[in-house]
Amino acid sequence: MADQENIPALLRVLNGERLERPPIWIMRQAGRYLPEYRELRTRAKNFLDFCYSPALATEAVMQPLRRFPLDAAILFSDILVVPDALGQKVWFVEGEGPRLEPLIGQQDWRFGETEKAIQRLAPVYEAVERIKAAIPKDTALIGFAGAPWTVATYMLQGRGGDKDDARMEVYRRPEDVDALLEVLIETTAQHLAAQVKAGADCLQIFESWAEGLPPQMFQRVVIAPTRKLVARVRELGVTVPIIGFPRGAGAQIGAYAHETQVTALGVDTQTTADQAREAAPIGMPIQGNLDPLTLVVGGKALEDAAQDVLIAFRHGPHIFNLGHGITPQATPENVAKLVNLVKGGV
Amino acid sequence: MADQENIPALLRVLNGERLERPPIWIMRQAGRYLPEYRELRTRAKNFLDFCYSPALATEAVMQPLRRFPLDAAILFSDILVVPDALGQKVWFVEGEGPRLEPLIGQQDWRFGETEKAIQRLAPVYEAVERIKAAIPKDTALIGFAGAPWTVATYMLQGRGGDKDDARMEVYRRPEDVDALLEVLIETTAQHLAAQVKAGADCLQIFESWAEGLPPQMFQRVVIAPTRKLVARVRELGVTVPIIGFPRGAGAQIGAYAHETQVTALGVDTQTTADQAREAAPIGMPIQGNLDPLTLVVGGKALEDAAQDVLIAFRHGPHIFNLGHGITPQATPENVAKLVNLVKGGV
C-alpha cells in the first residue's frame, strides 16, 4: 500500500482527494517577475535557445522552488516549440511576443513530420529528466503543451493578439484547418507522452485562446481536438492525470469538462467556484483561480482575494493557482505572502 | 387598442412577443464598412465633431436604412461623449481608437457636473429628434450609452486594450472607483432619459468590457452599477424597454440577466442560445449573436451561421443581431444577403 505521505499533495488532489489545505503552484512561476530569472535569461541569445538548453531550463524551474514552498514544478518550455520542431519559423521579439511565418496567405500549408519533430525536441525531454532529478520528492513535476487550436492560431496568424484571422480561416478553409489540427494532435500527443516517459508526474494542456468562439466552432476546434488529443495520449500508454485549462471558455466550460476526458479542470479568473463545480463532472479536481493582478497590488486586496478563492473552492478537490499566468509586474514578496497564506500561515 | 401592424417589430419582441421572423438590426450598422459612410466621415475634422453634428449623425443613421430593410435605427454617437461632456479630454487617433487623459496617475480625480454635461450633450438629443423624424414609422429608434464600468475603464486608462490597469485600480482605490461609477450612473441615466424624451423608442446599454473580471468584482463594477443605472432611468420616468449587452460576461450572464432589471439580454458570439435562455428569466427577449466575421467571409459560411442563429433562438422572443459590432472589412453585399435571409428570402 502506498504511503500517502510520500505522494505529492498535487497528485493526491488530482486523484480526487480533498485536502484541508490545497496544494499550490503558479502558472509561469518561473518567469520575469523574478530578478534571478531575468539574469538567467541573458545567458541564452534568444528565448528558444533558452528553452532548448536543459541546463538553463532546469535552473529556471529551480528558482521559484528555492524561494517558495510550492507543491509543483512545471517544465520550463513554450507551447511554440511544437511548430518550431515541425519546421515552421518561430522567433521571439523582445517585449512583443512570438512571431511565426504565418500559414495564412500561403497557398499550400506544409507541415513537418511528427517523428522528426519529436527527435528535434530531445532537449526538452532531457530537461524533464534533469528537473525530475533536481526537485524534492514531494514536489510534483508537471509537463505541458498548448492545445491544438491555441497552437494553430499562432501558426495561422504568425502572432498573438485577437484571433479574428484564424477564426476566418476556419470559415474559409475548414478542411485545411482540420488537417492542421490533426498534425498538431498527433505531434502534441507524442510530445506529452515523451515528457511523461522522461519523468513528468502529470500534464497540463493550455487552451489559451478558447474565448470568443461561436458554439459550433468551439466544438470543432477546441472540444473535438482536445478529446482526440487526450484519447491519443492514453493510447500511447500514458496514465498520469491531465489538467485541461480552457481560458476564456465562459459558459462552455461544462461541455469542455464533460466531453474532453481531461482529469481536472483549470478555471480562469472570471469563473466562479460554484459555476465550475456545477459545470464539471462530480468530484472532478478543479484548479484556479486567483486574479494574477492581486500579486501586483498586494496588501489587503491580495489577502481578501486569496481567502475568497480558498473558501469558494473548499467543498471539493482543489488546486490553488491563478486564473491566468503571473505578470512580470508581480513581486516575489507578494508571491511569498500568498504561498504562506494558502499554506495556513498568517 | 393599438394596431399591432403599426408597432415596429423590434418593439413587439421587446414586449415579449415571439415573431415567426425575428426583427434584425446590426451593431455599428452605420459605419466604416459602407463606402458612403467613409465619404461622409471626411466632412467633419474629427470623430467627436462628427458625433456632435445633428446633420451628419442623422445622415450616417439613414445610410444603412437606404440599403437594407432593417428593423431599427440606432443613434449615431459614441459611448465616450459622456466623459467628454463631463470635461475629460477625449480624442480619437485614426486607426488606433480613442484616447483620454487618464485618471490613473492623477492624485485627485475631478469630474464635471451631470447637469452641465447634459447641457453640453444637447446636439445629441437634437440628432435623436432629427433621426426620429427621418426614419420610417415601422423602424424603431434605439438610444444608447456605455455602461458605467465600460466608460470608467476608458476614463481610468485613457485607452482601450486590456483592462488590467483599470482592474488594479479597483483593488487599489475601491472607494474612488465607486465614486467615479456613481457619477457615471447619474450622468448616464440622465443622458438616456434625454434620448427617450427626444424620441428614442428603446435603449441599449453597452457593457463592452465585462470579460475577465473576478466574480466579486463583476458584482461590484458591472451588476450593481447597471442595476442602479436602470433603476435611476426608471425613476426619471422612462418606461421604454432597455437591452443590456454584457459582452464577455461568460458564465455570469445569468446573474446579469436576473439582477440588473434590464428588459432584454444581448448575447455575444460565444454564448449558445440554450445557455442564454437558461440563464435569463423566462420569456426575456434575447438579442444576438451571429459571428461578425461571417459578414467578412460571406458565402456558405455566412448562410450556415445565420441559419444556425435563427434555429437556435427560435423558441422565444428573439432579435437578430451580431455578437459584436460589424467590422470595417465586412461587405455591404454580405449584409444585404444576411438581411434578406433573416427576412425569409432565399
| pLDDT band at A346; cut points 50, 70, 90 | low
- CB within 8 Å: A215 and B272: yes
pLDDT score for B51: 97
Question: Would an 8 Å CB–CB cutoff place B294 in contact with chain A?
Answer: yes
Integer Cα distance of B6 and B157 in angstroms:
45
- Distance of CA B208 to CAs A82, A165, B323, Å? 35, 21, 11
CA–CA separation, A98 and A79 (whole Å):
11
For the full predicted model, state whether its pTM sits above 0.90.
Answer: yes
- Which parts of chain B have pLDDT scores under 70? 1-5, 346
Q: What is the structure's pLDDT at B1?
A: 43
Q: Residue B119 contacts by C-beta under 8 Å, 6 or more apart in sequence?
A: none
**Interface contact B263, partner A, CB < 8 A:** no
What's the complex ipTM?
0.92
Residue A333, domain CATH = 3.20.20.210
Phi–psi pair at A40, nearest 5 degrees: -60, -40
pLDDT more than 90, % of chain A:
92
What contacts 24+ positions apart, CB below 8 Å, involve A35-38?
A35/A332, A36/A63, A37/A63
Quote the Cα angle for A14-A19-A20, to 5°: 160
Is the minimum CB–CB distance between A345 and chain B shorter than 8 Å? no
Q: Mind listing the pLDDT tens digit for each residue in A7-56?
A: 999 999 999 999 999 999 999 999 999 999 999 999 999 999 999 999 99
- Is B234 a catalytic site residue? no
Is B32 within 8 Å of B55 (Cβ atoms)? Answer: no
| Catalytic status, residue B110 | no
Please give the grid coordinates belonging to residue B32: 466604416
Min distance A175 CA to chain B CA atoms (Å): 13
What pLDDT was estimated at residue B199?
98
Q: CB within 8 A of B241, min separation 6: which ones?
A: B11, B14, B15, B202, B203, B263, B264, B285
Choosing from B78, B84, B268, B291, the catalytic residue is B78
Q: Which of the residues B71, B154, B167, B201 is marked catalytic?
A: B154
Interface contact flag, B215 A268, Cβ < 8 Å: no
Catalytic residue annotation of A: 28, 32, 41, 78, 154
CB of B164 less than 8 A from some CB of A: yes
pLDDT digits (tens, 9 = 90+) for B311-341: 999 999 999 999 999 999 999 999 999 999 9
Dihedral sign for Cα atoms in the order A205, A208, A212, A213: negative
Using CA coordinates, name the residue in chain A closest to B290: A214
Cell triple for B99: 484616447
Q: Across chain A, what does the average pLDDT equal?
A: 96
Dist. CA A252–CA A215, nearest whole Å: 8
What pLDDT, on a 0 to 100 scale, did the predictor assign at position A1?
43
> Phi, psi (5° rounding) for residue A69?
-80, 65
C-beta separation of B259 from B227 below 8 A: yes
Instruction: Say if A261 is an interface residue toward chain B (CB within 8 Å).
Output: no
Contact B341, B311 (CB under 8 A): no
A215 touches chain B (CB under 8 A): yes
At A299, list the grid cell. Answer: 496588501
Beta bridge partners of B100: B90
Dihedral (CA of B205, B211, B213, B216) sign: positive
Q: Which residues pair with B143 in a beta bridge?
A: B203
Could you tell me if B211 lies within 8 Å of chain A, comparing CB atoms?
Answer: yes
Q: How far is residue A137's CA from residue A8's CA, in Å, rounded to a whole number?
A: 7
pLDDT tens per residue across span A204-233: 999 998 899 999 999 999 999 999 999 999
Backbone angles phi, psi at B235, to 5 degrees: -60, -30
User: Over the stretch A245-278, which tens digit does the pLDDT of each residue have?
Assistant: 999 999 899 999 999 999 999 999 999 999 999 9
Please answer yes or no on whether B293 and A323 come within 8 Å at the CB atom.
Answer: no
Q: How far, CA to CA in Å, does B282 sit from each of B260, B263, B279, B310? A: 15, 12, 9, 19
Strand order in the sheet with B72-74: B72-74, B140-146, B202-207, B242-246, B264-266, B286-290, B318-322
Domain count for chain A, please give it: 1
CA B231 to chain CA centroid, Å, is 18
What is the residue range of B197's domain? 4-342
Asked if the C-beta of B216 comes within 8 angstroms of chain A's C-beta atoms, the answer is: yes
Residues from chain B that touch A213, judged by Cβ atoms under 8 A, are: 269-270
- Per CB-CB distance under 8 Å, the chain B contacts of A279 are 251
Instruction: Specify the pLDDT at position A260.
Output: 98
Inspect the interface and report whether the beta carbons of B293 and A164 lie closer than 8 Å: yes
Q: Which among B238, B246, B285, B295 has a CA at the least distance from the CA of B263?
A: B285
How confident is the model over B125-145, as pLDDT tens digits?
999 999 999 999 999 999 999
Assess whether B176 carries a catalytic annotation: no
Residue of A214, A271, A301 lying closest to B269 (CB–CB):
A214
Contact criterion met (CB below 8 Å) for A140 and A11: yes
Closest CA to A19 of A342, A269, A346, A345: A342
**Residue B145 β-bridge partners:** B205
The minimum CA-CA distance between B250 and chain A, rounded to whole Å, is 4
Judged by a CB distance cut-off of 8 A, whether residue A219 touches chain B is: no
**A interface test, pick of B164, B268, B270, B271 with most A CB neighbours within 10 Å:** B270
* pLDDT single digits (tens) A163-191: 999 999 999 999 999 999 999 999 999 99
A301: its cell numbers: 486586496
Cβ–Cβ gap B279/A251 under 8 Å:
yes
